[in-house]
Chains A and B, each alone.
Chain A
Amino acid sequence: MDEIRDLFGREIRVINVGLESFALVLESLGVPVIHVQWVPPAGGDPARARLLALLDDEDGA
Chain B
Amino acid sequence: MSIREANERALVRLTSAQPVLVDCRPAREALGLDERTVLHSGPPLLWGQACPTVQAAILCAIRYEGWAADDDAARRLVERGRVTLGPCHHAGAVGPMTGIITASMPVFVVENRPGGNRAHATVNEGLGKVLRFGANDASVIARLDWLAREAGPLLGAALRSSGGLDLRALMAQALRMGDEMHQRNIAASALLARALMPHLARVAADTGAVARVADFMAGNDQFFLNLAMAAAKAAADPCLEIAGSTMVATMARNGTDFGIRVAGLGERWFTAPVNTPEGLYFPGFTAADANPDMGDSAIVETVGLGAFAMAASPAVVRFVGAGGLRDAVRVTEEMAEITLGEHPHFRIPTLDERGTPVGIDIRKVVETGITPLINTGIAGRAPGTGQIGAGVVRAPLACFEQALAAAAAGRVAT
Contacts and interface: CB of A to CB of B under 8 A. Distances in A.
Contacts of A43: 369
Contacts of B57: none
A3 interface: no
Contacts of B401: 48
A7 B217 CA distance: 70
B404 A55 contact: yes
A57 B5 CA distance: 10
A54 B411 contact: yes
A41 interface: yes
B211 to A, nearest CB: 56
Contacts of B5: 60
A42 B4 contact: no
B351 interface: no
B366 A42 contact: yes
A58 B414 CA distance: 18
A41 B363 CA distance: 10
Contacts of B46: none
Contacts of A56: 363
A15 interface: no
A4 interface: no
Contacts of A39: 368-369
Interface bin, chain B: 10 to 19
Contacts of A60: 2, 4-5
A52 interface: yes
A1 interface: no
Contact of A57 (B2, B368, B369, B404): B2
| B contact face: mostly helix, strand, loop, or mixed | helix
Contacts, number: 37
A51 interface: yes
Interface in B237-257: 246
Nearest to B411: A54
B198 to A, nearest CB: 51
A59 to B, nearest CB: 8
A29 interface: no
A36 to B, nearest CB: 14
Given A57-B3, A57-B4, A60-B2, A52 B366 contact: yes
A61 interface: yes
B404 A48 contact: yes
A60 B411 CA distance: 14
B369 A55 contact: no
A51 B369 contact: no
B142 interface: no
B405 interface: yes
A44 to B, nearest CB: 10
Interface of A: 39, 41-43, 48, 51-52, 54-58, 60-61
Given A52-B366, A58-B4, 15 more contacts: A39-B368, A39-B369, A42-B366, A51-B404, A51-B408, A54-B408, A54-B412, A55-B3, A55-B246, A55-B404, A55-B407, A55-B408, A60-B4, A60-B5, A61-B2
The 6 A-B pairs with the shortest beta carbon distances in the complex, nearest first, are: A51-B408, A54-B408, A41-B367, A57-B2, A57-B3, A51-B404
Interface of B: 2-5, 246, 363, 366-369, 401, 404-405, 407-408, 411-412
